[in-house]
Amino acid sequence: MRVDGLFLSIIGVFFGIVGIVYWYTSYEDAGFVMLVGSAGLGLLPGLYYLWWSKRMKPLEGDIEDATMADGAGVIDSFPASSIWPFLLGMAALFTTMTFIFGLWMAPIAIALGVSAIIGGVVESRRGGTI
């Protein structure tokens, strides 16, 4: 956790420095905005992880001499299968096609999207069961 946080924070600091240097050498706004955005992308999760790494016990994956028994317990629930990602993907496909080929595709996209979102949420609330 600490390594991850440091790693992301260093990325953020690096982009911050490059962004400042870039601004004062070019006064070009598009690149500056993107570099500052990237700095935020590194610093936000990085500092969050660092903050937490001081307040929680280390993950088993971060302990050099952890044994498999240290990782005992439930890792997580992993759904073995789910149809909703497929429907959501097709909903996205039909949404983009609506923009290209016209509004007549919108009902298909909406139907697919709504059913996929409802199905997916319900599935998650039941703990990953269809």
36 and 16 in contact (C-beta within 8 Å)? yes
Q: 71 or 107, CB closer to other proteins?
A: 71
Q: Which residues bind other proteins (CB under 8 A)?
A: 3-4, 7-8, 11, 14-15, 18, 21-22, 25-31, 34-35, 38, 41, 59-86, 88-90, 92-93, 96-97, 99-101, 120, 127-130
Structure tokens at 34: 């993107």
92 and 32 in contact (C-beta within 8 Å)? no
CB of 21 to other proteins, least distance (A): 8
Residue 58 makes CB contacts below 8 A (sequence gap 6+) with 1, 2
CB of 43 to other proteins, least distance (A): 13
* Coil vs helix vs strand at 73: coil
| Amino acid at position 112, single letter | L
CB of 117 to other proteins, least distance (A): 12
Cα separation of 19 and 29, whole Å? 10
CB of 62 to other proteins, least distance (A): 6
